[in-house]
């Protein structure tokens, strides 16, 4: 049987090796890679006024072009017109609708609509904030069966 000092040295070396091994596994980092993306953005301003893109609106923004224009008209009074902005107010509303209707997050929304992720985050949050402030004047539950039918017919059309 080894002497007590040798057992202590063996135990100390085993503990040091275990700690070093654990640190080596925990400190291992993945290689950094750049995610290259292609510009798959669309010319949104040309889509807005052409009725043949109504299916695109229904699929990606979850509303028709007519509904989109009505929503923009309601929200426009809360956003002042700024002539030097690079992207339109309508694109901000489209980003908000696209973001709320998809599960991809801000990066996917920004890529789809051709804006930066930072711009997308700022503008989506601004539009949602205004919608939150408008909730009292816009949200009204139907009180009769006829009103419920009108709403359900509207959803069926989309």
Alpha-carbon Rg of the chain, whole angstroms?
28
* Mean pLDDT, the chain, integer: 84
- Please give the average per-residue pLDDT across 140-144, as a whole number: 87
CB–CB of 79/130 below 8 Å? yes
60-90 pLDDT tens trace? 999 999 999 999 999 999 988 887 888 889 9
Residue pLDDT, tens place only, 20-67: 667 666 666 667 766 655 555 677 788 888 888 899 899 999 999 999
């Amino acid at each position: 049987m080894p002497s007590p000092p040798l057992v202590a040295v063996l135990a100390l070396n085993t503990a040091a090796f275990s700690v070093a091994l654990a640190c080596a596994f925990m400190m291992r980092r993945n290689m950094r890679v750049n995610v290259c993306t292609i510009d798959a953005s669309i010319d949104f301003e040309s889509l807005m006024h052409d009725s043949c893109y109504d299916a695109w609106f229904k699929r990606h923004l979850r509303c028709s072009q007519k509904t989109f224009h009505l929503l923009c008209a309601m929200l426009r009074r809360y956003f002042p017109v700024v002539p030097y902005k690079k992207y339109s107010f309508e694109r901000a509303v489209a980003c908000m609708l696209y973001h709320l209707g998809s599960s991809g997050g801000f990066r996917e929304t920004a890529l789809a609509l051709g804006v930066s992720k930072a711009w997308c985050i700022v503008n989506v949050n601004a539009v949602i904030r205004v919608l939150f402030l408008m909730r009292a004047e816009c949200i009204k539950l139907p009180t009769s069966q006829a009103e419920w039918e009108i709403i359900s017919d509207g959803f069926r059309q989309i």
